[in-house]
Amino acid sequence: MSVVPIKFLSLPSRMLARVKAMFVFQHRWVVLRCVAVCASILAAAARGSLSAAEAPAEQSEAAWQQYWDEPAALDDMETGLDPSMQCAGTAMACDCEECDCCQWTSQLLPDGLIYRSYLAGAKEPRLASYWAYEDDQGWIWDITLGGRVGLWRYGTTDDVRPEGWQLDVEGAALPRLDPEQERDLVSADFRAGVPLTYGVGAWQTKVAYYHLSSHLGDEYMLRNVGARRVNYSRDVLVIGQSYYLNDDVRLYGEAGWAFYSDVSEPWEFQFGLDYSPLCNWNFRGSPFAALNVHLRQEVDFSGNFVAQAGWQWRDRHSGHLFRAGLEYFDGKSDQFEFFDQNEKKVGLALWYDY
């Protein structure tokens, strides 16, 4: 019996069949495998940290190996910084009242963010690419093209974990492509907003406005005769709060109320947890994990659950974050043209946050 190959980008049909077979299983196994991956990543990281602590320093270690393991050490040797303060930009750095980076000043177009985007937030503005398999739709490709940057800050000059007041601007296009139909555009959501944030120590607060609208793809409508677009749009006021249990773990929650909405209802709520090690500047990176729950009034306060796990690399000067890993999505669609439809997705993703 012959099998008709499915086109997925440029992957050979045999490779696609193997990848598809890996993802088509009961969802209980998806969750169990994600948990197993998280556990193995954290165990490996713990073993690596223990080994590094027990191993004596080798004076004859090559310079490139030192840069691989501790690139920040080279900067410290040049600047004469105390190695105990090697992780500049963390809360401990601002315990020093004499440190210039801890003085509050007015800054135009600052680098870094006081209130950072939620790692597992499906509608956060960032650069992202998510290749996933969905039970009913098959392969899908969700993309985020955007970001959030600072316009003005009155606060510290530290860019990794700044304190003070900051006005940001954000925007993103969030299209969905169909890899099995020559990457046709299925739908796209567009978001733009202006957050005002404040943070001191472990606490950060966000008050924001954002507009979101959803659009159905022309190619999708041509393939699905009779499909009708939904004019899903909302103008929203948001208040959010986050708290760092330590430098690596953040809890957060936010509420949004739409003073104008079409199709959508006014209220939404979002909460979750991010594990993202702060003081790991070397090329080896570190593990990360994130959970997010997003509830919406128009679906009777149902919504979606997102779990992520993988590996991350953070720039020590700006705090920019690059991640690669797995994502599991379960709940109402995050493409709001299909806001009341259920989706279960699992796949690989890349994320970049400014």
pTM of structure: 0.77
- Using the predicted structure, report yes or no on whether residue 63 has a pLDDT greater than 50: no
Higher local confidence (pLDDT), 106 or 40: 106
Q: Does 60 map to a domain?
A: no
- Using the predicted structure, report yes or no on whether residue 265 has a pLDDT greater than 50: yes
Q: Does 298 map to a domain?
A: yes
- CB-based contacts of 149: which residues, under 8 Å, 6+ apart? 109, 113, 168, 169, 170, 354
pLDDT above 70 as % of the chain: 72
- Contact predicate 86/72, CB 8 Å: yes
Q: Does 71 map to a domain?
A: no
Q: Does 118 map to a domain?
A: yes
Q: Does 193 map to a domain?
A: yes
- pLDDT confidence of residue 184: 95
234: domain CATH number is 2.40.160.40
Q: Does 7 map to a domain?
A: no
DSSP string, 85-134: G-STTSGGGGG-TT-GGGS-EEEES-SS-SSPPPTT-TT--SEEEEEEEE
- pLDDT confidence of residue 67: 44
Q: Does 70 map to a domain?
A: no
- Using the predicted structure, report yes or no on whether residue 277 has a pLDDT greater than 80: yes
pLDDT confidence of 283, banded at 50, 70, 90?
confident
- pLDDT confidence of residue 83: 38
- pLDDT confidence of residue 16: 42
pLDDT above 90 as % of the chain: 66
- Using the predicted structure, report yes or no on whether residue 30 has a pLDDT greater than 50: no
- Contact predicate 169/151, CB 8 Å: yes
Handedness of CA 218, 340, 270, 89 (dihedral sign): negative
pLDDT confidence of 58, banded at 50, 70, 90?
very low
pLDDT confidence of 208, banded at 50, 70, 90?
very high
Q: Looking at 34-38, 76-80, 155-159, which range is the least confident one?
A: 76-80
- pLDDT confidence of residue 187: 97
Number of domains in the chain: 1
Mean pLDDT of the chain: 81
pLDDT confidence of 69, banded at 50, 70, 90?
low
Note down the domain range covering 203. Answer: 17-51+103-353
- Using the predicted structure, report yes or no on whether residue 17 has a pLDDT greater than 80: no
Higher local confidence (pLDDT), 198 or 67: 198
Mean pLDDT of 42-58: 43
- Using the predicted structure, report yes or no on whether residue 24 has a pLDDT greater than 70: no
Rounded CA-CA distance 179/347 in Å is 14
- Using the predicted structure, report yes or no on whether residue 192 has a pLDDT greater than 90: yes
